[in-house]
Amino acid sequence: MTAMKPALLVVDMQNDFVLPDAPAAVKGAAATIPRIKAVLDRFRRSGWPVFHVVREYRADGSDIEISRRDAFLAGPGYVISGTTGAEIVRALSPESGEYRIVKPRFSAFFGTELELILRRLAVDRLVLCGTQYPNCIRATAYDGLSHGYPVLVITDATSASDDQVAEANIRDLRNVGIRCVSFEEFDRSIGG
């Protein structure tokens, strides 16, 4: 029997998206930090690969989505490369041997080296958590499935601006066969 080889993708848990007073705060994100830490611990204990997927923008707006550019340039900006706001929240800091992937768009696969590394590591399934459901989580989940990976989202380690948005997205994800389960359920299913 071949052992399974899941990879964990922790998405966008950066100061500017997570800290309650941050410029682009996602309301539900801060509350998920302890649960994401538990997921991280589980992967670290098993020696499975961990990817910290983050968003960064250039301050001049040259690489932001066209629909967001004007508002970004009119304000102080957010997740600008090299700023504290772009850093991963302290409690979830990457450890040695983990991967940091900068994504220029919603999906962790779009314009990044993620798929190259997943293949090199012979990863056979993806586990997602982080923020936020409708955008980066969802785009990454669909792309992961499109690349042929079974995808699982840990619901209590993933956030949105409110519960209604989270629930609507979970329903759509499940309809295409993306598993959405709690950390406890996930942990039990892998023989925690």
Span between the terminal Cα atoms of the chain, in Å:
18
Contact string 130-149 vs a copy of itself (x = CB under 8 A)? ----xx---x--xx-xx-xx
With CB under 8 A as the rule, give the number of residues binding a copy of itself. 29
Q: Is the separation of the CB atoms in 52 and 99 below 8 Å?
A: yes
Residue 15 or 107 having the CB closest to a copy of itself:
107
Query: Which region among 4-12, 43-51, 73-81, 163-171 touches a copy of itself (by CB under 8 A)?
Result: 163-171
Q: Is 106 in the site for a copy of itself (CB under 8 A)?
A: yes
Helix (H) or strand (E) holding 188: helix 183-189
Return the SS3 of 52: strand
Closest to a copy of itself by CB, 4 or 168: 168
Q: Is residue 96 a contact residue for a copy of itself (CB under 8 A)?
A: no
Q: How far is CA 50 from the centre of its chain?
A: 11
Among 23, 61, 94, 150, binds a copy of itself (CB under 8 A): 150
- Rounded Cα–Cα distance for residues 74 and 50 (Å): 35
Give every CB contact of residue 75 below 8 A, 6+ residues apart in sequence. 23
HSE-up of residue 163 (Cα within 13 Å, Cβ side): 1
Q: Pull the structure tokens for residue 56.
A: 């960064």
**32: contact with a copy of itself by CB under 8 A:** no
Among 27, 37, 44, 105, binds a copy of itself (CB under 8 A): 105
Least spacing, CB of residue 44 vs a copy of itself, in Å:
27
Does 171 interact with a copy of itself (rule: CB under 8 A)?
A: yes
Q: 143 by DSSP, 3-state: which? A: helix
C-alpha dihedral, 67 to 51 to 121 to 113, nearest 10°? 30
Q: Segment near a copy of itself (CB under 8 A), from 37-45, 49-57, 91-99, 101-109? A: 101-109
Q: Which residues in this chain contact a copy of itself in the complex, by CB under 8 A? A: 65-68, 105-107, 110-111, 134-135, 139, 142-143, 145-146, 148-151, 165, 168-169, 171-172, 175-178
